[in-house]
Amino acid sequence: MLEVVGVPVLADNYVWLMHDKASGETVVVDPAVDAAVLAAAASLGWRISQIWNTHWHDDHVAGNVGIKAATGCRIIAPDDPEHPIPGVDRIVGEGDRVGIGTFEGHVLSTPGHTRVHLAYHLPDVAILFTGDTLFALGCGRLFEGTPDQMFANMRRLAALPPETLIYCAHEYTQANARFAVTVEPGNAALMERVREIDTERAAGRPTVPTTIADERDTNPFLRASTVAEFASRRAAKDVFRG
């Protein structure tokens, strides 16, 4: 099996290290920085062999060049001509395959937060890296895409097996929860989850990964039934100050 470790950096980012013991390979997903990621890998005795990027934003790619220089790793990323990702060795998109050891990852196109955005799904081990598309109790702000695109992402990801572990790129869960309860105040599963989240954060523990099952039950964006309902919720979240 694969081991996944989160490296908290900046204000609220998670950089994910995924390690395959059999092959010795380690993939870094969305390195916002280089030094902290290299230090984390070194402390674990892991050799970084690849970087997988989901989109071009600096807090997902700023560590690319430094990590590549230190390790010689290969960088896999989407093709975004308007915002070229630094250090790329291989461009991937919808339907492509990536790998770590004998484990295969499926590349999913999930535009909306940015014009070009990817997620990486490893179905054999029920792991999904969503970048800034799907968060615990939230979804990415629509900087370059449309509600139609993001709603389609929500439907597609919701259809994945319920046990799928979602590794998103930010610790936004507590803030997302405050908005979620305004949308579905009568959702008992949500209220229980909010209590659990508050307990975890008070103890300084992460709320990620989450699961597809939990998001189906409690995430107001994944639970939107139409594009119009999704768009209304996304617009409300954009101005929410709770």
One of 60, 117, 121, 214 is an active-site residue; which one? Answer: 60
The residue with tokens 């409300």 is 236
Catalytic, 59? Answer yes
Q: CA 181 to CA 191: how far, in whole Å? A: 7
Catalytic, 121? Answer no
One of 20, 30, 34, 132 is an active-site residue; which one? Answer: 132
Q: CA 39 to CA 135: how far, in whole Å? A: 26
Q: Is the pLDDT of residue 5 over 90?
A: yes
Say which amino acid occupies 66: G
Beta bridge partners of 121: 106, 128
One of 57, 80, 117, 121 is an active-site residue; which one? Answer: 57
pLDDT at 1: 85
- What is the mean pLDDT of the segment spanning 18-38? 98
Q: Is the pLDDT of residue 119 over 90?
A: yes
- What is the mean pLDDT of the segment spanning 92-113? 98
- What is the mean pLDDT of the segment spanning 54-81? 98
One of 20, 34, 55, 214 is an active-site residue; which one? Answer: 55
One of 20, 30, 34, 59 is an active-site residue; which one? Answer: 59
Q: CA 3 to CA 145: how far, in whole Å? A: 33
For residue 30, give Cα distances in angstroms to 56, 75, 177, 193.
9, 10, 24, 27
Q: Is the pLDDT of residue 115 over 90?
A: yes
- Over the stretch 44-63, which tens digit does the pLDDT of each residue have? 999 999 999 999 999 999 99
Q: Which helix (H) or strand (E) holds 134?
A: strand 134-135
What share of the chain has pLDDT > 90, as a percent?
99
One of 30, 80, 113, 121 is an active-site residue; which one? Answer: 113
Catalytic, 198? Answer no
* The CATH number of the domain covering residues in 2-239: 3.60.15.10
For residue 238, give Cα distances in angstroms to 142, 181, 187.
9, 15, 22
Q: CA 176 to CA 150: how far, in whole Å? A: 17
User: Using omega within 30 degrees of 0 as the cis cutoff, is the peptide bond preceding 31 cis?
Assistant: no
Q: Choose among 224, 110, 141: nearest CA to 232.
A: 224
Helices (H), the chain: 35-44, 58-61, 64-71, 147-158, 173-183, 188-202, 212-218, 227-239
- Over the stretch 129-165, which tens digit does the pLDDT of each residue have? 999 999 999 999 999 999 999 999 999 999 999 999 9
- Residue 220 tokens, joined: 């107001």
> Per-residue confidence at 242, pLDDT binned at 50, 70, 90?
confident
Catalytic, 58? Answer no
Q: CB of 5 within 8 A of CB of 17? A: yes
Catalytic, 19? Answer no
- What is the mean pLDDT of the segment spanning 109-138? 98
- Beta-carbon contacts of 38 under 8 Å, excluding residues fewer than 6 positions away, are 48, 66, 67, 70, 71
Q: Is 120 helix (H, G, I), strand (E, B) or coil?
A: strand
Q: Enumerate the domain spans of the chain.
A: 2-239
Cβ-based burial of 105 (10 A; exposed 0-12, middle 13-18, buried ≥19): buried
- What is the mean pLDDT of the segment spanning 28-48? 98
Q: Is the pLDDT of residue 203 over 90?
A: yes
Q: What is the DSSP string of 9-65?
A: ETTTEEEEEEEETTT-EEEEES-S-SHHHHHHHHHHTPEEEEEE-----HHHHTTHH
Whole-number mean pLDDT of the chain? 98
